[in-house]
Chains A and B, each alone.
Chain A
Amino acid sequence: MFFTEAQLEWFKQAWPGPITRSTSWLFPFGEILHFIGLCLLLGSLIFIDLRLMGYFKSHSVKSVLSLLPYALFGFLLNAISGWFFFTSTPQVYMGNWAFIWKMMLILLAGLNAAAFTIWEHPKVVHIGPGEDTPTSAKVFAASSLALWFVVLLLGRWLPIFTVSAN
Protein backbone atom coordinates (compact mmCIF):
# COMPACT_ATOMS: atom_id res chain seq x y z
CA MET A 1 0.00 0.00 0.00
CA PHE A 2 2.75 2.47 1.00
CA PHE A 3 5.81 0.69 -0.39
CA THR A 4 6.60 -1.29 -3.52
CA GLU A 5 7.71 -4.92 -3.29
CA ALA A 6 11.28 -3.85 -4.08
CA GLN A 7 11.26 -1.32 -1.22
CA LEU A 8 9.87 -3.91 1.19
CA GLU A 9 12.61 -6.32 0.11
CA TRP A 10 15.15 -3.56 0.80
CA PHE A 11 13.75 -3.17 4.36
CA LYS A 12 13.91 -6.93 4.79
CA GLN A 13 17.62 -6.98 3.91
CA ALA A 14 18.38 -3.81 5.94
CA TRP A 15 20.15 -4.14 9.29
CA PRO A 16 19.21 -5.92 11.54
CA GLY A 17 16.49 -7.82 9.62
CA PRO A 18 18.57 -10.86 8.58
CA ILE A 19 20.09 -11.18 12.09
CA THR A 20 16.67 -10.90 13.78
CA ARG A 21 15.30 -13.66 11.53
CA SER A 22 18.23 -15.99 12.12
CA THR A 23 18.71 -15.41 15.87
CA SER A 24 16.01 -17.05 17.96
CA TRP A 25 16.45 -14.88 21.08
CA LEU A 26 16.66 -11.46 19.40
CA PHE A 27 12.93 -10.94 18.81
CA PRO A 28 11.90 -11.82 22.42
CA PHE A 29 14.79 -9.65 23.69
CA GLY A 30 13.48 -6.78 21.53
CA GLU A 31 10.01 -7.29 23.01
CA ILE A 32 11.40 -6.99 26.53
CA LEU A 33 13.11 -3.71 25.56
CA HIS A 34 9.88 -2.56 23.89
CA PHE A 35 7.94 -3.12 27.12
CA ILE A 36 10.55 -1.38 29.29
CA GLY A 37 10.48 1.56 26.85
CA LEU A 38 6.69 1.57 27.02
CA CYS A 39 6.74 1.78 30.84
CA LEU A 40 9.24 4.67 30.78
CA LEU A 41 7.30 6.51 28.08
CA LEU A 42 3.85 6.12 29.60
CA GLY A 43 4.99 6.35 33.23
CA SER A 44 6.45 9.80 32.64
CA LEU A 45 3.69 10.97 30.27
CA ILE A 46 0.91 9.96 32.68
CA PHE A 47 2.39 12.22 35.36
CA ILE A 48 3.20 15.09 32.95
CA ASP A 49 -0.11 14.98 31.07
CA LEU A 50 -2.26 14.62 34.19
CA ARG A 51 -0.51 17.65 35.75
CA LEU A 52 -1.16 19.63 32.56
CA MET A 53 -4.79 18.47 32.68
CA GLY A 54 -5.16 19.95 36.15
CA TYR A 55 -4.42 17.01 38.49
CA PHE A 56 -1.51 16.75 40.97
CA LYS A 57 -1.50 20.53 41.31
CA SER A 58 0.83 20.44 44.32
CA HIS A 59 3.69 20.05 41.80
CA SER A 60 4.92 22.90 39.61
CA VAL A 61 4.71 22.24 35.87
CA LYS A 62 8.47 22.77 35.53
CA SER A 63 9.27 20.07 38.11
CA VAL A 64 6.96 17.58 36.41
CA LEU A 65 8.42 18.38 32.98
CA SER A 66 11.83 17.33 34.37
CA LEU A 67 10.63 13.73 33.72
CA LEU A 68 10.57 14.34 29.95
CA PRO A 69 14.02 12.74 29.34
CA TYR A 70 12.48 9.42 30.47
CA ALA A 71 9.71 9.79 27.88
CA LEU A 72 12.29 10.49 25.17
CA PHE A 73 14.53 7.60 26.26
CA GLY A 74 11.51 5.26 26.39
CA PHE A 75 10.47 6.35 22.91
CA LEU A 76 14.02 5.79 21.63
CA LEU A 77 14.06 2.25 23.09
CA ASN A 78 10.71 1.55 21.42
CA ALA A 79 11.81 3.00 18.08
CA ILE A 80 14.99 0.89 18.03
CA SER A 81 13.29 -2.34 19.10
CA GLY A 82 10.40 -1.54 16.72
CA TRP A 83 12.89 -1.26 13.83
CA PHE A 84 14.20 -4.74 14.76
CA PHE A 85 10.63 -6.12 14.53
CA PHE A 86 9.78 -4.31 11.30
CA THR A 87 12.89 -5.32 9.37
CA SER A 88 12.38 -8.96 10.41
CA THR A 89 9.16 -9.25 8.33
CA PRO A 90 8.28 -5.90 6.67
CA GLN A 91 5.74 -7.46 4.27
CA VAL A 92 3.72 -8.87 7.17
CA TYR A 93 3.74 -5.56 9.07
CA MET A 94 2.78 -3.48 6.03
CA GLY A 95 -0.12 -5.83 5.32
CA ASN A 96 -1.45 -5.30 8.83
CA TRP A 97 -3.84 -2.36 9.20
CA ALA A 98 -3.38 -2.24 13.00
CA PHE A 99 0.32 -1.55 12.34
CA ILE A 100 -0.49 1.19 9.77
CA TRP A 101 -2.86 2.87 12.24
CA LYS A 102 -0.33 2.49 15.04
CA MET A 103 2.35 4.26 12.96
CA MET A 104 -0.04 7.03 11.94
CA LEU A 105 -1.11 7.64 15.54
CA ILE A 106 2.54 7.70 16.69
CA LEU A 107 3.14 10.35 14.02
CA LEU A 108 0.09 12.26 15.28
CA ALA A 109 1.33 11.98 18.90
CA GLY A 110 4.69 13.35 17.73
CA LEU A 111 3.02 16.29 15.98
CA ASN A 112 0.92 16.90 19.10
CA ALA A 113 4.10 16.96 21.22
CA ALA A 114 5.83 19.30 18.74
CA ALA A 115 2.86 21.68 18.69
CA PHE A 116 2.76 21.65 22.51
CA THR A 117 6.49 22.44 22.66
CA ILE A 118 6.18 25.34 20.21
CA TRP A 119 2.95 26.98 21.43
CA GLU A 120 2.19 25.82 24.97
CA HIS A 121 5.50 25.06 26.67
CA PRO A 122 6.59 28.72 26.99
CA LYS A 123 3.19 29.57 28.54
CA VAL A 124 2.97 26.69 31.04
CA VAL A 125 6.57 26.19 32.17
CA HIS A 126 6.31 28.90 34.83
CA ILE A 127 3.04 27.62 36.31
CA GLY A 128 3.71 26.97 39.98
CA PRO A 129 2.19 24.64 42.59
CA GLY A 130 -1.56 25.06 43.03
CA GLU A 131 -2.00 27.02 39.78
CA ASP A 132 -4.20 25.84 36.94
CA THR A 133 -3.12 25.33 33.31
CA PRO A 134 -4.86 26.92 30.29
CA THR A 135 -7.54 24.94 28.47
CA SER A 136 -5.35 24.61 25.36
CA ALA A 137 -2.65 22.83 27.43
CA LYS A 138 -5.30 20.50 28.86
CA VAL A 139 -6.42 19.60 25.33
CA PHE A 140 -2.85 18.86 24.21
CA ALA A 141 -2.25 16.70 27.31
CA ALA A 142 -5.52 14.75 27.02
CA SER A 143 -4.84 14.13 23.31
CA SER A 144 -1.35 12.88 24.14
CA LEU A 145 -2.59 10.38 26.74
CA ALA A 146 -5.46 9.16 24.55
CA LEU A 147 -3.17 8.74 21.52
CA TRP A 148 -0.53 6.75 23.43
CA PHE A 149 -3.09 4.45 25.05
CA VAL A 150 -4.63 3.69 21.64
CA VAL A 151 -1.11 3.12 20.21
CA LEU A 152 -0.52 0.58 22.99
CA LEU A 153 -3.82 -1.19 22.31
CA LEU A 154 -3.11 -1.31 18.57
CA GLY A 155 0.27 -2.87 19.33
CA ARG A 156 -1.47 -5.63 21.25
CA TRP A 157 -4.01 -6.12 18.44
CA LEU A 158 -1.27 -6.69 15.82
CA PRO A 159 -1.53 -10.52 16.02
CA ILE A 160 -5.28 -10.45 15.24
CA PHE A 161 -4.67 -8.74 11.92
CA THR A 162 -1.40 -10.52 11.21
CA VAL A 163 -3.36 -13.76 11.09
CA SER A 164 -5.88 -12.13 8.73
CA ALA A 165 -3.07 -10.83 6.51
CA ASN A 166 -1.65 -14.30 6.13
Chain B
Amino acid sequence: MWDSLRSFEAGDFSSWLREGNFIVDPFSTFYTLLGIHSIGMAIVVGISFMLSSRIFGFQLGLSMKKGLELLPLAWWGFWINFGSGVLLVLAQPRREMMTFLFWAKMLTILLAFLSLRTVQRGLEAMQTPQGALEIAPWNLRLQTLLVDLFWLGAIISGRLIGYTQPPPPL
Protein backbone atom coordinates (compact mmCIF):
# COMPACT_ATOMS: atom_id res chain seq x y z
CA MET B 1 0.00 0.00 0.00
CA TRP B 2 2.71 2.47 1.08
CA ASP B 3 4.85 1.56 -1.95
CA SER B 4 1.87 1.96 -4.28
CA LEU B 5 1.24 5.44 -2.87
CA ARG B 6 4.94 6.25 -3.23
CA SER B 7 4.93 5.31 -6.92
CA PHE B 8 1.63 7.19 -7.43
CA GLU B 9 3.18 10.33 -5.90
CA ALA B 10 6.14 10.02 -8.25
CA GLY B 11 3.76 9.86 -11.25
CA ASP B 12 2.93 12.74 -13.59
CA PHE B 13 -0.59 13.42 -12.26
CA SER B 14 0.34 13.65 -8.58
CA SER B 15 3.45 15.69 -9.44
CA TRP B 16 1.33 18.12 -11.49
CA LEU B 17 -1.13 18.50 -8.62
CA ARG B 18 1.69 19.14 -6.17
CA GLU B 19 4.25 21.08 -8.19
CA GLY B 20 2.72 22.00 -11.55
CA ASN B 21 0.98 25.13 -12.77
CA PHE B 22 -2.74 25.54 -13.25
CA ILE B 23 -3.09 26.70 -16.89
CA VAL B 24 -0.40 29.41 -16.66
CA ASP B 25 2.77 30.03 -14.70
CA PRO B 26 3.00 30.96 -11.78
CA PHE B 27 -0.54 29.97 -10.69
CA SER B 28 0.32 26.66 -9.07
CA THR B 29 -2.22 23.85 -9.26
CA PHE B 30 -1.89 23.15 -5.55
CA TYR B 31 -2.72 26.69 -4.38
CA THR B 32 -5.47 27.07 -7.01
CA LEU B 33 -7.04 23.86 -5.68
CA LEU B 34 -6.72 25.27 -2.15
CA GLY B 35 -8.58 28.38 -3.38
CA ILE B 36 -11.37 26.28 -4.94
CA HIS B 37 -11.47 24.22 -1.73
CA SER B 38 -11.96 27.43 0.28
CA ILE B 39 -14.75 28.62 -2.04
CA GLY B 40 -16.57 25.30 -1.57
CA MET B 41 -16.07 25.56 2.19
CA ALA B 42 -17.36 29.14 2.30
CA ILE B 43 -20.50 28.09 0.39
CA VAL B 44 -21.42 24.98 2.39
CA VAL B 45 -20.37 26.22 5.83
CA GLY B 46 -21.60 29.78 5.21
CA ILE B 47 -25.06 28.64 4.11
CA SER B 48 -25.21 26.15 7.01
CA PHE B 49 -24.45 29.03 9.43
CA MET B 50 -27.19 31.21 7.87
CA LEU B 51 -29.78 28.42 8.06
CA SER B 52 -28.71 27.71 11.65
CA SER B 53 -29.25 31.32 12.58
CA ARG B 54 -32.88 31.14 11.41
CA ILE B 55 -33.47 27.74 13.03
CA PHE B 56 -32.14 29.13 16.34
CA GLY B 57 -34.81 31.84 16.14
CA PHE B 58 -33.05 34.83 14.56
CA GLN B 59 -34.08 36.51 11.26
CA LEU B 60 -37.73 35.61 11.88
CA GLY B 61 -38.68 37.42 8.66
CA LEU B 62 -37.08 34.57 6.70
CA SER B 63 -39.10 31.43 6.09
CA MET B 64 -37.40 28.24 7.26
CA LYS B 65 -39.35 26.11 4.82
CA LYS B 66 -38.35 28.35 1.92
CA GLY B 67 -34.81 28.33 3.30
CA LEU B 68 -34.68 24.72 2.12
CA GLU B 69 -34.18 26.17 -1.39
CA LEU B 70 -30.69 27.14 -0.24
CA LEU B 71 -29.64 23.61 0.61
CA PRO B 72 -29.00 22.44 -2.99
CA LEU B 73 -26.52 25.35 -3.22
CA ALA B 74 -24.93 24.24 0.06
CA TRP B 75 -24.59 20.69 -1.34
CA TRP B 76 -22.95 22.11 -4.46
CA GLY B 77 -20.43 23.79 -2.15
CA PHE B 78 -19.93 20.48 -0.37
CA TRP B 79 -19.23 18.58 -3.60
CA ILE B 80 -16.84 21.30 -4.83
CA ASN B 81 -15.09 20.89 -1.49
CA PHE B 82 -15.11 17.11 -1.79
CA GLY B 83 -13.72 17.07 -5.36
CA SER B 84 -10.97 19.60 -4.67
CA GLY B 85 -10.22 17.85 -1.37
CA VAL B 86 -9.71 14.49 -3.09
CA LEU B 87 -7.31 16.12 -5.57
CA LEU B 88 -5.41 17.80 -2.71
CA VAL B 89 -5.00 14.42 -1.01
CA LEU B 90 -3.85 12.85 -4.29
CA ALA B 91 -1.17 15.54 -4.48
CA GLN B 92 0.54 14.14 -1.38
CA PRO B 93 -1.35 11.07 -0.14
CA ARG B 94 1.32 9.70 2.19
CA ARG B 95 1.86 13.05 3.89
CA GLU B 96 -1.87 13.59 4.48
CA MET B 97 -2.63 10.08 5.65
CA MET B 98 0.09 10.06 8.30
CA THR B 99 -1.29 13.25 9.91
CA PHE B 100 -3.67 12.71 12.83
CA LEU B 101 -5.50 16.00 12.17
CA PHE B 102 -6.30 14.89 8.62
CA TRP B 103 -8.31 11.96 9.99
CA ALA B 104 -9.90 14.22 12.63
CA LYS B 105 -10.97 16.55 9.81
CA MET B 106 -12.42 13.67 7.78
CA LEU B 107 -14.41 12.51 10.82
CA THR B 108 -15.84 15.97 11.57
CA ILE B 109 -16.77 16.47 7.90
CA LEU B 110 -18.56 13.11 7.82
CA LEU B 111 -20.45 14.02 11.00
CA ALA B 112 -21.30 17.49 9.64
CA PHE B 113 -22.56 15.91 6.39
CA LEU B 114 -24.79 13.43 8.25
CA SER B 115 -26.08 16.10 10.65
CA LEU B 116 -26.89 18.49 7.80
CA ARG B 117 -28.85 15.70 6.06
CA THR B 118 -30.80 15.18 9.30
CA VAL B 119 -31.52 18.92 9.57
CA GLN B 120 -32.70 18.90 5.94
CA ARG B 121 -35.09 16.01 6.64
CA GLY B 122 -36.28 17.77 9.81
CA LEU B 123 -37.06 20.96 7.89
CA GLU B 124 -38.85 19.02 5.16
CA ALA B 125 -41.01 17.25 7.74
CA MET B 126 -41.84 20.40 9.70
CA GLN B 127 -45.54 21.31 9.64
CA THR B 128 -46.54 24.90 10.36
CA PRO B 129 -50.12 26.14 10.03
CA GLN B 130 -50.63 28.75 7.28
CA GLY B 131 -49.76 32.22 8.57
CA ALA B 132 -48.27 31.00 11.86
CA LEU B 133 -44.68 31.87 12.83
CA GLU B 134 -42.29 28.99 12.12
CA ILE B 135 -40.59 27.83 15.32
CA ALA B 136 -38.07 24.99 15.08
CA PRO B 137 -38.47 22.15 17.61
CA TRP B 138 -35.66 21.66 20.15
CA ASN B 139 -34.34 18.47 18.57
CA LEU B 140 -33.88 20.31 15.27
CA ARG B 141 -32.09 23.15 17.05
CA LEU B 142 -29.79 20.67 18.76
CA GLN B 143 -29.04 18.96 15.45
CA THR B 144 -28.28 22.36 13.91
CA LEU B 145 -25.93 23.20 16.76
CA LEU B 146 -24.10 19.94 16.06
CA VAL B 147 -23.80 20.84 12.35
CA ASP B 148 -22.16 24.15 13.30
CA LEU B 149 -19.83 22.54 15.83
CA PHE B 150 -18.76 19.86 13.36
CA TRP B 151 -18.05 22.48 10.68
CA LEU B 152 -16.03 24.46 13.23
CA GLY B 153 -14.10 21.28 14.04
CA ALA B 154 -13.41 20.76 10.32
CA ILE B 155 -12.19 24.37 9.92
CA ILE B 156 -9.93 24.17 12.98
CA SER B 157 -8.42 20.79 12.07
CA GLY B 158 -8.07 21.87 8.42
CA ARG B 159 -6.13 25.00 9.36
CA LEU B 160 -3.93 23.18 11.85
CA ILE B 161 -2.98 20.41 9.37
CA GLY B 162 -0.62 22.87 7.68
CA TYR B 163 1.18 23.50 10.97
CA THR B 164 1.47 19.93 12.18
CA GLN B 165 2.11 18.07 8.94
CA PRO B 166 5.35 16.14 9.08
CA PRO B 167 8.00 16.55 6.34
CA PRO B 168 7.37 14.54 3.16
CA PRO B 169 8.02 10.83 3.76
CA LEU B 170 11.07 9.32 2.04
B142-167 interface with A by 8 A CB criterion: 151-152, 155-156, 158-160, 163
The DSSP consensus for interface residues of chain A is helix
A152 touches B38 (CB 8 A): yes
**Chain A residues, Cβ within 8 Å of B39:** 149, 152-153
Q: Does B42 count as interface, using CB distance less than 8 angstroms?
A: yes
**Is A75 in the interface zone, CB < 8 Å from B?**
no
- Is A58 a contact partner of B69 (Cβ separation < 8 A)? yes
The answer to whether the Cβ of A127 comes within 8 Å of any Cβ in the partner chain is: no
Given contacts A32-B156, A152-B42, contact A66 B59 (CB under 8 A): yes
- A39-B59 contact, Cβ under 8 Å, with A46-B43, A156-B31: no
Q: Residues of A contacting B49 with CB < 8 Å?
A: 39-40, 43, 70
A36 to B48 alpha-carbon distance, docked (Å): 12
Query: Given known contacts A56-B69, A63-B59, is B34 in contact with A156 (CB within 8 Å)?
Result: yes
14 more A-B residue pairs beyond the given contacts A44-B50, A46-B42, A47-B70, with a C-beta to C-beta distance below 8 A: A28-B159, A35-B155, A36-B152, A39-B41, A39-B46, A43-B42, A43-B49, A44-B46, A46-B73, A58-B63, A62-B61, A63-B62, A153-B32, A164-B26
Chain B residues with CB below 8 A from A39, complex form: 41-42, 45-46, 49, 151, 155
Q: Assess A66 versus B61: contact at CB under 8 Å? Given A31-B159, A43-B45, A164-B26.
A: yes
Q: Does B47 contact A (CB under 8 A)?
A: yes
Alpha-carbon separation in the docked complex, A44 to B39 (Å)? 14
- How many whole Å from A134's CB to the nearest CB in chain B? 22
**A38 beta carbon closer than 8 Å to chain B:** yes
Q: Which residues of A in the span 111-166 have a Cβ within 8 Å of any Cβ on B?
A: 149, 152-153, 155-157, 159-161, 164
Q: Which residues of A contact B43 (CB under 8 A)?
A: 42-43, 46
Query: Is A92 on the interface with B (CB-CB < 8 A)?
Result: no
Interface residues of B in 110-157 (CB under 8 A from A): 151-152, 155-156
Q: How many A-B residue pairs have CB under 8 A?
A: 103
CA distance A137 to B45 in the complex (A): 26
9 shortest interchain CB distances as A-B pairs: A43-B46, A156-B35, A63-B61, A42-B42, A153-B35, A39-B45, A39-B46, A58-B66, A66-B59
Interface 0/1 of A39-74, CB less than 8 Å to B: 111111011001000001011101110110010000
| CB-based contact A47/B35 at 8 Å | no
Query: Which residues of chain A have C-beta atoms less than 8 A from B15's C-beta?
Result: none
Instruction: Judge whether A46 and B69 touch: CB under 8 Å.
Output: no
* CB-based contact B31/A47 at 8 Å: no
Instruction: Tell me which of A56, A70, A155 contacts B53 (CB under 8 A).
Output: A70
B35/A32 in contact, CB under 8 A:
no
| Chain A residues, CB < 8 A from B38 | 35, 38, 152, 155-156
Indicate if B100 sits at the interface (CB-CB under 8 A). no
Please state if B155 and A36 are interface contacts (CB–CB under 8 Å).
yes
